[in-house]
């Protein structure tokens, strides 16, 4: 195993990847071993700047990938604490399967830990039942 570090990688395809990287130099064309590669997208709106994180390979169940160095334009080691914090948080959520409430479009489905208890129809039925019980007690 070679040196291990977090890096931002620009591929010949134009993609930019952030990943934990190990360099294997056993051959003429070294191989990068990417662990949990992600793509960061910076979003701007009136409230500020946000970073959206998504997996590099969205349909794959794997978390380790191999890329030949000949497919890389450039790579740079990243020690940016904010990026590392976001990346580590994303990886830990993914490993613990706590990000299963995210939709494919990036929106978040509410769950009970977020305060979501029932649907509007269920809540309406429960409230109507409570009103019927209270009205029958008054009579």
> Which tens digits make up the pLDDT trace of 69-94?
999 999 999 998 888 988 988 888 77
pLDDT at 17: 96
Indicate the Cα dihedral angle 11, 97, 1, 22, nearest 10°. 20
pLDDT at 110: 66
Residues 54, 41: Cα–Cα separation, whole Å? 8
**Number of domains into which the chain is organized:** 2
pLDDT at 119: 79
Cα dihedral across residues 107, 109, 110, 112: positive or negative = negative
pLDDT at 138: 66
pLDDT at 131: 85
- Whether 28 and 66 map to the same domain: the answer is yes
- Whether 39 and 100 map to the same domain: the answer is yes
pLDDT at 98: 53
Which CA distances in Å does 95 have to 14, 22, 28, 43, 47?
A: 28, 20, 34, 25, 30
- Whether 130 and 101 map to the same domain: the answer is no
pLDDT at 97: 61
Domain residue limits at 118: 113-139
The pLDDT profile of the chain, 139 residues, written as one tens digit per residue, is: 568 999 999 999 999 999 999 998 877 888 999 999 999 998 888 878 888 899 999 898 899 999 999 999 999 999 988 889 889 888 887 776 655 555 545 566 666 666 667 778 888 888 888 888 777 776 5
pLDDT at 16: 95
Residues 32, 77: Cα–Cα separation, whole Å? 13
- Whether 19 and 73 map to the same domain: the answer is yes
Backbone angles phi, psi at 93, to 5 degrees: -60, -40
- Whether 32 and 88 map to the same domain: the answer is yes
CATH number for 36: 2.30.30.100
């Amino acid at each position: 195993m070679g040196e291990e570090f977090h890096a931002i990688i620009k591929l010949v395809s134009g993609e930019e990847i952030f990943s934990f990287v190990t360099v294997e130099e056993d051959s003429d064309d070294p191989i990068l071993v990417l662990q949990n590669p992600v793509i960061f997208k910076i979003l701007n709106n009136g409230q500020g700047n946000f970073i959206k994180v998504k997996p590099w390979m969205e349909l794959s169940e794997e978390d380790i990938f191999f890329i030949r160095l000949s497919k890389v334009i450039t790579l740079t080691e990243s020690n940016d604490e904010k990026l590392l914090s976001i990346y580590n948080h994303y990886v830990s959520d993914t490993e613990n399967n706590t990000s299963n409430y995210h939709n494919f479009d990036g929106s978040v489905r509410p769950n009970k830990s977020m305060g979501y208890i029932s649907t509007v129809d269920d809540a309406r039925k429960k409230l109507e039942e409570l009103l019927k019980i209270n009205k029958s007690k008054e009579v």
